């Protein structure tokens, strides 16, 4: 089979991007595959082309509602009408119609949580699924152990579907994360197509500040100087909101905030405004990013220390998808990691909360327990998931009491220890005085050996290349463009 010929026939492209052909060949050969490809290389092609060539049905597990909606809409624009997203955007009638007619669809996008619904799994099991895809597969390791434990059940789902060929797609997954993906999805000897996590067109910089006021002044200076659009990442929802309002007061009117605590419709509106150029700057938490397919983002600024190298690379990877020079700037004050540790601790239930939850023995509603002991929905999901894990391992024991509480505390402590180490590595990296790129890639088992005169602030960086064009230069550039267009038309 001539894959280049098929690529042109189905998509109109003349060449594959980095890694695509190797991944597609692996899938067509029936291999379970883990593909770590650079951001912006068109990972969706890696399952779309095999589907057209084999005529099979594809289930795509996607982490975000907005991401799967965008993917489905893009496919429809390209002429593919047999794509559907099963998610909470649908009302009861829409969801019922799709489930009744699921056999009509070739591409089914779905979240891990929706896969757990018995009626959904029953319908999927009645169909023939030839390819099972986990998009943004690093979420298995990043979120699956605590924030979204249903990711841990994907191996069981895969088994229930008859072990279809499975493709895990990601842009950032070190060796430990890839091992976690294999283990969770029950992959045996998968082919791994792994490319560098480096984005050479993104220059890395860290600006050390001594106080909160210094950090705010440095942020204002950067926003005023550098080309937009850009994203500023925060670890705090309130800080994202407050800073967006502050920047608007300083004259940057095309600024908005975005975080997971906002209403779904409001988040979609902000995202669409940013995508279509009505907003220049987004002050966001890590909730903003996946599915934001905007090629011309010129800077990503981290106001707070990222919690891991994986998060950092995912977030800066939203810049420069057009291949042009972009800047990733971290504003760091010694001790910033303290906020990361505090957030990490709050994400997990305390000893007291775990004890009270399990000693209750199911007598109270989850809402009552949340109100009484300060638990949140993430805590509840974590506790319920590992309660079931414990019961499955110890079927002869009652699902309550001190043994269960001790088991869950042990799991929690393992997760906290893993997160604490990652935060510590990021703090060490921020304080190093050696090549930033080599330091971050080292956490992915890579060694940076190329010479790049725009590598980082340690190796040498001309910040003038990222600055806004003065009005005069912009006008001259526009005039030149118009003159060139006029000449082209006259020469026809």
* Average pLDDT value for residue range 28-35: 96
pLDDT at res. 472: 40
Domain assignment of residue 50, yes or no: yes
What distance in Å separates the CA atoms of residue 454 and residue 72, rounded to the nearest whole number?
37
Please say if the pLDDT value at position 273 is more than 50: yes
Domain end residue (candidates: 144, 174, 194): 194
Kindly state whether residues 353 and 408 are assigned to the same domain: yes
Domain assignment of residue 263, yes or no: no
pLDDT tens-digit series, residues 336-372: 999 999 999 999 999 999 999 998 888 999 999 999 9
* Between residues 396 and 84, the one the model is more confident about: 84
Lowest mean pLDDT among 212-221, 302-311, 438-447: 438-447
Lowest mean pLDDT among 32-36, 139-143, 400-404: 400-404
pTM, rounded to two decimals = 0.86
* Average pLDDT value for residue range 147-170: 94
How many whole angstroms from its chain centre is CA 122? 29
Domain assignment of residue 37, yes or no: yes
What distance in Å separates the CA atoms of residue 309 and residue 148, rounded to the nearest whole number?
20
Kindly state whether residues 87 and 147 are assigned to the same domain: yes
E strands in 62-117:
83-86, 107-110
Kindly state whether residues 19 and 160 are assigned to the same domain: yes
* Between residues 75 and 65, the one the model is more confident about: 75
Q: In the 8-state DSSP scheme, what is residue 288?
A: S
Query: How many domains does the structure of the chain reveal?
Result: 2
The pLDDT-based confidence of 190 (bands split at 50, 70, 90) is very high
* Average pLDDT value for residue range 304-314: 93
Kindly state whether residues 63 and 118 are assigned to the same domain: yes
Domain end residue (candidates: 151, 169, 194): 194
Question: Domain containing 169: what range?
Answer: 3-194
* Average pLDDT value for residue range 79-106: 91
How many whole angstroms from its chain centre is CA 223? 24
Kindly state whether residues 172 and 321 are assigned to the same domain: no
Domain assignment of residue 155, yes or no: yes
* Average pLDDT value for residue range 264-283: 91
Q: Assess contact for 147 and 63: CB atoms under 8 A.
A: no
CA angle 145, 20, 69 (to 5 degrees): 55
Kindly state whether residues 372 and 454 are assigned to the same domain: yes
Kindly state whether residues 212 and 347 are assigned to the same domain: yes
């Amino acid at each position: 089979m001539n894959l280049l010929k098929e690529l042109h026939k189905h998509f109109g492209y003349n060449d594959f991007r980095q890694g695509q052909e190797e991944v597609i060949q692996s899938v067509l050969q029936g291999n379970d595959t883990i593909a770590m490809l650079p951001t912006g290389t068109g990972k969706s092609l890696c399952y779309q082309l095999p589907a057209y060539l084999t005529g099979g049905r594809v289930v795509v597990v996607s982490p975000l509602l907005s991401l799967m909606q965008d993917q489905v809409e893009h496919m429809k624009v390209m002429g593919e009408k047999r794509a559907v997203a099963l998610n909470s955007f649908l009302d009861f009638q829409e969801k019922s119609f799709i489930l009744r007619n699921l056999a009509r669809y070739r591409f089914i996008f779905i979240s891990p949580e929706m896969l757990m619904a018995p009626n959904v799994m029953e319908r999927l099991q009645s169909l023939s699924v030839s390819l099972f895809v986990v998009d943004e597969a690093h979420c298995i390791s990043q979120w699956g152990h605590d924030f979204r434990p249903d990711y841990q059940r994907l191996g069981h789902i895969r088994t229930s579907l008859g072990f279809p060929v499975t493709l895990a797609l990601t842009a950032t997954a070190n060796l430990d994360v890839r091992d976690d993906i294999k283990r969770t999805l029950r992959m045996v000897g998968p082919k791994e197509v792994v490319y560098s996590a480096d984005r050479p067109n993104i220059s890395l910089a860290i600006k050390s500040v001594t106080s909160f006021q210094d950090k705010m002044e440095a942020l204002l200076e950067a926003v005023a100087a550098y080309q937009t659009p850009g994203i500023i990442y925060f670890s705090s929802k309130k800080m994202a909101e407050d800073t967006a309002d502050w920047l608007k007061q300083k004259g940057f009117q095309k600024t908005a905030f975005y975080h997971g605590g906002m209403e779904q419709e409001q988040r979609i509106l902000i995202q669409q405004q940013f995508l279509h150029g009505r907003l220049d700057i987004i002050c966001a938490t890590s909730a903003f990013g996946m599915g934001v397919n905007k090629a011309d983002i010129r800077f990503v600024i981290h106001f707070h220390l990222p919690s891991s190298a994986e998060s950092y690379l995912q977030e800066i990877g939203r810049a420069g998808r057009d291949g042009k020079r972009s800047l990733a700037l971290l504003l760091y004050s010694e001790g910033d990691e303290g906020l990361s540790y505090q957030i990490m601790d709050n994400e997990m239930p305390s000893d007291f909360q775990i004890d009270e939850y399990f000693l209750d023995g199911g007598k109270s509603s989850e809402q009552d327990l949340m109100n009484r002991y300060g638990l949140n929905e993430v805590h509840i999901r974590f506790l319920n998931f590992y309660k079931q894990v414990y019961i499955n391992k110890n079927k002869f024991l009652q699902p309550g009491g001190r043994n269960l509480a001790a088991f869950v505390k042990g799991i929690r402590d393992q997760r906290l220890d893993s997160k604490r180490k990652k935060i510590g590595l990021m703090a060490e990296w921020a304080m190093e005085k050696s090549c930033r790129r080599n330091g971050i890639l080292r956490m992915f088992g890579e060694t940076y050996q190329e010479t790049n005169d725009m590598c980082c602030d340690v190796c040498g960086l001309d910040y003038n290349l990222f600055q806004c064009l003065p009005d005069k230069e912009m006008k001259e550039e526009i005039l030149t463009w118009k003159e060139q267009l006029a000449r082209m038309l006259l020469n026809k």
